[in-house]
Amino acid sequence: MVNINIDGINLQVEEGTTIMEAAKKIHVNIPSLCHHEDQSVKSVCRICVVEVNGQKLLQPACSYPVAESMSIRTNTPRIIKARKNILELIFSHHPQDCLNCDKNGSCELQSIAQDLNMNSPIRYEVELRGKAVDTSSPSITFDANKCILCGRCVEVCNDVQTVGILAKENRGYNTVVAPPYGKKLQDTACVNCGQCVQVCPVGALTIHDDTNLVYKAKEEGKVLIAQVAPSSRTTIAEALGEETGTVSTGRMITAMKMLGFDYVFDTDFTADLTIMEEGNELLNRITNGGVLPMMTSCCPGWVKFCETSYPKYTQHLSSAKSPQQMFGSVIKTYFAQKAGIDPANIFSCSIMPCTAKKFECKRPEMSDSGYQDVDAALTVQELAKLIKSAGIDFSKLEESRFDNPFGLGSGAGEIFAATGGVMEAALRTVYEVLTGEELKQLEFQAVRGFEGLKEAAVDINGTTVKVAVVHSLGEARKIMDRVVDGTADYHFIEVMACPGGCIGGGGNPVRNWKKVAKRTVNVYQQDKDLPIRKSHESPAIKMIYEEFLGEPLSETSHHLLHTKYAN
């Protein structure tokens, strides 16, 4: 431990602690634009400068380690002046359109400017980069003019996701962050995961906004049908300013009804349907010598990564569509018939934690109902915008229930939100179907948590079924390299593109690991609280097989619920 003094307060901290971390202990938040608590230290924005031992040269608090008897000042007039000067230089290169910027109200640059009382005109001439805004991606909008070169997106795209789309180009004043060879995002191997949006401190990388499609559908008199993903009910309240992890299923449904949705269904239902189809596909592959290891296919970010980085291995992907897309097919066929609605008059919309779902619903093969199965995939952040635009005070709403007949999913469907959840849900069903015995211990702890790779071996009727779970595409790459060299000795592998799984998805409120952990606790609590915790026991699942599909992997199932991949 070392003894230091910050702004007149004596404290002891561990050797190697940075000044920024030490200051937090006495409740001083030193501003920074490049620093992110889950990322490496970059020390590029220099907003965090402080005085150390009275030296003339200011030092960056994010990277400067404390030492014995160090005396630090974090708020002298010289420091405030230096920070303001750095901000003015950033402003001279940054569009001044805060009022209609997507990040208005949540921009870190705006917030630091406000905190530093930047209330007079800047002294420098404004010179913008003059780059065209890239709206080519269905998921992400990239405005390079707003980029402040912090490097957060470059790190997440290259080091965490290993997709390598974003990099710094050129030198000095001409430095920009851009996809390779001047390409637009849509023309690259970007998997649409939105993790770059999650870390961008300003409005350079934002979610492609589809809220206008809801208003348009209402104006056209369409029947508005929504499905809500498992993790969305754990993050919508957070997106509207409530505490992280607040579950608000009932209030969310009320708000959606007030927004004009005619039906609000629970995507847990098709998460259960995915387990029925995918679980039976796994049994089929194991007993009939199919391609193993089978890999989950419910994450469109991962599916695109597999298609672009491991195109020869797409036969390992389960042919089952994602829960979003299964619901899309079911709504415009089975439900439309049951409710007597012309499917052409349905606007089918999903509320997802995910930016990649926007890409997935537009894939040309996702139209087995005879129409685009899901017309729009909205993120949790977009639903929050719709609720705010309507002036709804979310905190005061009464609770409502999901609509029938797809209003009750199982706990197994609920845990799709977390890394390991799809695997655990599948094991609950596969075990009971194969053994005919009741599974006493429903929780598979070995596949829970945030380890990059989780493994389990489960004895089912004398066969040891080996499974693995990975999250983030960096971990997916490691396990795929083992599949390629033949050392991935598993029957079934779950892959989720986002760190932590969908609960850390690119369309959720801004994440860090502490928030993801807090949200995940409540995901598992919801599973515990549900009366039905296994997919095959859900009454809605029994009903759709009895009335419409026949049995898992039937011809109708294959037509509506399964797909093929690009290779």
Residue from 155, 278, 382, 494 carrying the catalytic annotation: 278
Residue from 146, 357, 454, 515 carrying the catalytic annotation: 357
Angle of the 268-287 helix axis to the 421-435 helix axis, nearest 10: 60
Closer Cβ to ligand SF4, 264 or 299, answer by number: 299
Query: Could you tell me if 414 and 527 are in contact, meaning their C-beta atoms sit under 8 angstroms apart?
Result: yes
User: At residue 120, what are phi and psi to the nearest 5 degrees?
Assistant: -130, 160
Among 59, 74, 192, 538, the residue binding ligand SF4 under the rule CB under 6 A is 192
Helix, strand or coil for residue 52?
Answer: strand
Interatomic CA distance for residues 14 and 6, integer angstroms: 14
Closer Cβ to ligand SF4, 30 or 356, answer by number: 356
Interatomic CA distance for residues 373 and 270, integer angstroms: 14
318 is catalytic: yes
Size of the site for ligand SF4 (CB under 6 A): 27
Closer Cβ to ligand SF4, 31 or 420, answer by number: 420
21 is catalytic: no
- What is the nearest approach in angstroms of ligand SF4 to the Cβ of residue 160? 8
Structure tokens at 389: 């635009």
* Residue 353 makes contact with ligand SF4 by CB under 6 A: yes
Residue from 62, 107, 147, 502 carrying the catalytic annotation: 502
- What is the nearest approach in angstroms of ligand SF4 to the Cβ of residue 285? 23
* Residue 346 makes contact with ligand SF4 by CB under 6 A: no
Among 31, 151, 194, 413, the residue binding ligand SF4 under the rule CB under 6 A is 194
Question: For 65, left (φ over 0), alpha (ψ -120 to 50), or beta?
Answer: beta
* Residue 497 makes contact with ligand SF4 by CB under 6 A: yes
Q: Indicate the pairing of strand 176-178 with strand 167-169.
A: antiparallel
The interface with ligand SF4 within residues 295-324 (CB under 6 A) comprises 299, 301-302
* Residue 476 makes contact with ligand SF4 by CB under 6 A: no
Q: Which residue is nearest to ligand SF4 (CB)?
A: 505
Interatomic CA distance for residues 538 and 554, integer angstroms: 19
* Residue 496 makes contact with ligand SF4 by CB under 6 A: yes
* Residue 413 makes contact with ligand SF4 by CB under 6 A: no
* Residue 249 makes contact with ligand SF4 by CB under 6 A: no
Burial string for 354-381 (b: 16+ CB within 10 Å, else e) reads bbbbbbbbbbeebbbbebbbbbbbbbbb
The answer, yes or no, to whether the previous bond of 539 is cis (omega within 30 of 0) is no
150 is catalytic: no
Interatomic CA distance for residues 54 and 61, integer angstroms: 14
* Residue 154 makes contact with ligand SF4 by CB under 6 A: no
Among 13, 256, 356, 384, the residue binding ligand SF4 under the rule CB under 6 A is 356
Among 138, 411, 505, 552, the residue binding ligand SF4 under the rule CB under 6 A is 505
Counting DSSP H helices and E strands in the chain, the numbers are: 20, 17
Helix, strand or coil for residue 557?
Answer: helix
502 is catalytic: yes
Residue from 153, 298, 361, 498 carrying the catalytic annotation: 298
* Residue 532 makes contact with ligand SF4 by CB under 6 A: no
Measured between its terminal Cα atoms, the distance across the chain in Å is 56
498 is catalytic: no
Stretch of 6-14, 128-136, 391-399, 500-508 lying at the interface with ligand SF4 (CB under 6 A): 500-508
278 is catalytic: yes
Query: Among the residues of 106-210, which ranges form H helices?
Result: 108-115, 152-155, 195-199
User: At residue 379, what are phi and psi to the nearest 5 degrees?
Assistant: -80, 165
- What is the nearest approach in angstroms of ligand SF4 to the Cβ of residue 230? 10
Longest CA–CA separation in the chain, Å: 79
DSSP code of residue 157: I
Among 6, 101, 112, 191, the residue binding ligand SF4 under the rule CB under 6 A is 191
* Residue 61 makes contact with ligand SF4 by CB under 6 A: no
Question: Which residues contact ligand SF4 (rule: CB under 6 A)?
Answer: 140, 156-157, 161, 163, 165-166, 190-196, 299, 301-302, 353-354, 356-357, 496-498, 501-502, 505
The residues annotated as belonging to the active site are 278, 281, 298, 318, 357, 360, 365, 502
